[in-house]
Amino acid sequence: MEQFIGSLAQAGFEGEVDSSDATLDAYSHDASLFELKPQVVVYPKDEDDLQWLVATVNQCRKYMPSLNLTARSAGTCMSGGAIGDSVVVDFNRHFTGLGEVKNLKIQTQPGVFYRDFEKVTLKHKALLPSFPASRELATLGGMVANNAGGEKSLEFGKTENFVRQLNVVLSDGNPYVLKPLDKKELARKKALKGFEGEIYRQIFELLDSNYDKIKAAKPHVSKNSTGYNLWDVWDREAGVFDLTKLFTGSQGTLGLISDIQFSLVPNKPHSGVLVAFMKNIDNLGEIVNVVLTQKPASFESFDNYTLKLSIKFFPYFRKTIGWKGLIKLGWQLLPDALLLFRGIPKMVLLIEFTGQTPEEVSAKVHNMRQILQSYKLEAMEEDATEAKAWKFRIMRRESFNLLRKKVKDKHTAPFIDDLVVPPPHLVEFLPRLQAIIKKYKLMATVAGHMGDGNFHVIPLMKIEDPKERAKLAPAMKEVNELVLSYGGSLSGEHNDGMIRGPWLQQMYGKEITDLFRKTKHIFDPSNIFNPHKKTDADWEFSMSHVRQRF
């Protein structure tokens, strides 16, 4: 690695390089259950540095064949996508440029935190609605890499719908601009000599010659972050070819992103939430489908275990919302104290409606309450303003961090954590899922995006115990087979990484999975970008890198 570092400096790399033990240890983990220790961490300053990085890797691979690059920003990936065993490229230090909102568009660099990005957009009454629950921790680069979604995706869809242009550095070490092309622009790209022309020719041929198969392979769910998004790149009818659709959700396996242009949506000025407490979840699937008939803006949930943690570790929220926010949260929760003394509900549902006036929102929230009266829920609370509903939103958004940081005797094991099933099937699906969880004696929290049928099932396990680790493969196999039997997706938001990559063929079949592998090879023939993830993932490799230390 000393040779690589020396060659990088000679090439003109201006960013920092760190190979200290403390840094390597810190970067060996993300939010997944895996551990990969890098040999060096680099902090590029600009796009020129990214070019030097790729060029130097290509040069040094002659005597360091396993040299590779793993992009990383906030390190919140739950599937192991932000860790690597060679060179980790940190975008969080320098790639923090952020432009202004113009005509509901904005330019940003990948290291910008969403929390800072949203402050700018809201000044212009605009919003990027695909933010994840980890909105206070996530960066824009990670959102694009994983094709993030969240509570607003029920109404607006995922990040792929809002990426308008990407500046990228590809495996030849050169920068390129990816954006939607019409037929004439595509023809000009295909006519180019060199690497860029070769990419357009090969990807177009792959997509066009397998057009019907690829379109048919698209999962029939509202959210999907598995495989490569081939089905949305080439639209014959519209005559549009858009490689941003391919890069979004590619998890850093096709190249390095240096700049992003997003489109935004007008932020509706008013919102309110109906909060429903369920003492049992026997008819949860039916309730989900009833709620969806009213077209809510979002439909979120969290379970009794998350609620108990929120109460037990109430002071933890100060880290996110500050002392004033903590006092506000405590004051707002006082009216709910009597309800909680009667027993913790099994599930808390948050059904949001938005509108142009407070009266419009209040009417929608009240109407939803009337519709649900027949289900005799434990309690329902109309929070007709966003400020009132905030108390439960913060619990939902912080649920995973509470699990990671506050449960000392067990550890989060996100391996069946992001499944999606079409909502009409939830009535049958959810009891069968609960039966599998019970069969393997998993203590698991359940939260997620009810309206999308997207559930985050987070088992809490003693991963260091071999008997517990032995449950991972068989439990995941049963859950995956159940999800796929209902036409679902194994990941709605968190992507493949090291945990679901090995299961792509189970979901798509060999023919489509081979097309994914060909796509990876066209962009990255030497596999220098984020190996061991997605199409390059291997179950034995992944399981041999499950964290041993917590």
What does the DSSP assignment read for 283-309?
A: THHHHHHHHHTT--SEEEEEEHHHHHH
Burial classification of residue 470, based on how many CB atoms lie within 10 Å of its CB (0-12 exposed, 13-18 middle, 19 or more buried): exposed
- Which of 388, 406, 424 is the C-terminal boundary of a domain? 406
- Same domain? 252 vs 319: no
What per-residue confidence (pLDDT) applies to 317?
A: 47
250 in a structural domain: yes
- Which residues, 6 or more positions from 141, have their beta carbon under 8 angstroms from its beta carbon? 71, 73, 91, 95, 109, 110, 111, 112, 257, 260
- Same domain? 36 vs 24: yes
CA angle in degrees (0–180, nearest 5) for 239-129-359 = 120
Please provide the distance, in angstroms rounded to a whole number, between the alpha carbons at the two ends of the chain. Answer: 27
Q: Is 163 left (phi over 0), alpha (psi -120 to 50) or beta?
A: beta
3: which 2 tokens? 């040779």
State yes or no: pLDDT of 187 exceeds 90: yes
φ and ψ at 208, to 5 degrees? -75, -40
State yes or no: pLDDT of 297 exceeds 70: yes
Q: Which domain holds residue 398?
A: 268-406
- Same domain? 164 vs 242: yes
User: How high is the mean pLDDT of the chain?
Assistant: 89
400: which 2 tokens? 């995973």
What per-residue confidence (pLDDT) applies to 280?
A: 81
- Among the listed ranges 15-19, 330-334, 453-457, which one has the minimum average pLDDT value? 330-334
- Among the listed ranges 24-28, 66-70, 449-453, 528-532, which one has the minimum average pLDDT value? 449-453
State yes or no: pLDDT of 45 exceeds 90: yes
State yes or no: pLDDT of 399 exceeds 60: no
- Which of 215, 240, 266 is the C-terminal boundary of a domain? 266
178 in a structural domain: yes
182 in a structural domain: yes
Residue 310 pLDDT grade (very low, low, confident, very high; cuts 50, 70, 90): low
- What's the number of domains the chain is made of? 4
List Cβ<8 Å contacts ≥24 apart for 287-293. 287/349, 287/372, 287/375, 288/423, 288/426, 288/450, 288/451, 288/453, 289/423, 289/424, 289/426, 289/427, 290/371, 290/372, 291/349, 291/351, 291/368, 291/372, 291/450, 291/451, 292/423, 292/451
Pairing status of strand 87-90 against strand 69-72? parallel
Side chain identity at residue 523, one-letter code = F
φ and ψ at 456, to 5 degrees? -105, 100
What per-residue confidence (pLDDT) applies to 406?
A: 53
56 in a structural domain: yes
Measured distance CA(161)–CA(164) in Å, rounded: 8
Cα distances (Å, whole numbers) of residue 160 to 81, 217, 247, 494, 498: 18, 18, 9, 14, 22
Q: What does the pLDDT average to over 473-482?
A: 94
- Same domain? 260 vs 286: no
Structural contact between residues 443 and 410, judged by C-beta atoms closer than 8 angstroms: yes
Measured distance CA(115)–CA(112) in Å, rounded: 9
State yes or no: pLDDT of 348 exceeds 50: yes
- Which residues, 6 or more positions from 435, have their beta carbon under 8 angstroms from its beta carbon? none
- Same domain? 82 vs 109: no
544: which 2 tokens? 């041999």
Residue 393 pLDDT grade (very low, low, confident, very high; cuts 50, 70, 90): low
431 in a structural domain: no
Residue with tokens 């559930």: 455
Q: Which of 379-383, 472-476, 480-484 has the highest mean pLDDT?
A: 480-484
Residue with tokens 């709910």: 336
- Same domain? 60 vs 25: yes
Side chain identity at residue 112, one-letter code = V
With residue 204 as reference, give the H or E element that holds it: helix 194-209
- Same domain? 362 vs 343: yes
Domain of 10, CATH number, reads 3.30.43.10
State yes or no: pLDDT of 333 exceeds 60: no
What per-residue confidence (pLDDT) applies to 275?
A: 83
Residue of 476, 489, 484 whose CA lies nearest to 419: 489
Residues facing 443 on adjacent strands? 460
- Among the listed ranges 159-163, 319-323, 461-465, which one has the minimum average pLDDT value? 319-323
- Which of 406, 427, 446 is the C-terminal boundary of a domain? 406
* Alpha-helical segments (H) within 442-537: 466-469, 472-485, 504-508, 510-523
Burial classification of residue 189, based on how many CB atoms lie within 10 Å of its CB (0-12 exposed, 13-18 middle, 19 or more buried): middle
Q: What does the pLDDT average to over 351-361?
A: 91
Percent of the chain whose predicted confidence (pLDDT) is above 90: 68
What per-residue confidence (pLDDT) applies to 397?
A: 56
16 in a structural domain: yes
What per-residue confidence (pLDDT) applies to 330?
A: 46
Measured distance CA(150)–CA(79) in Å, rounded: 16
Domain of 238, CATH number, reads 3.30.465.10
Measured distance CA(214)–CA(231) in Å, rounded: 6
State yes or no: pLDDT of 83 exceeds 90: yes
- Same domain? 262 vs 272: no
What per-residue confidence (pLDDT) applies to 320?
A: 53
550 in a structural domain: no
- Same domain? 305 vs 272: yes
Quick: pLDDT tens for 232-266.
999 999 999 999 999 999 999 999 999 999 999 99
- Same domain? 229 vs 291: no
75 in a structural domain: yes
Measured distance CA(178)–CA(245) in Å, rounded: 10
The number of residues in the chain equals: 550
- Same domain? 215 vs 154: yes
- Same domain? 24 vs 126: no
Quick: pLDDT tens for 196-227.
999 999 999 999 999 999 999 999 999 999 99
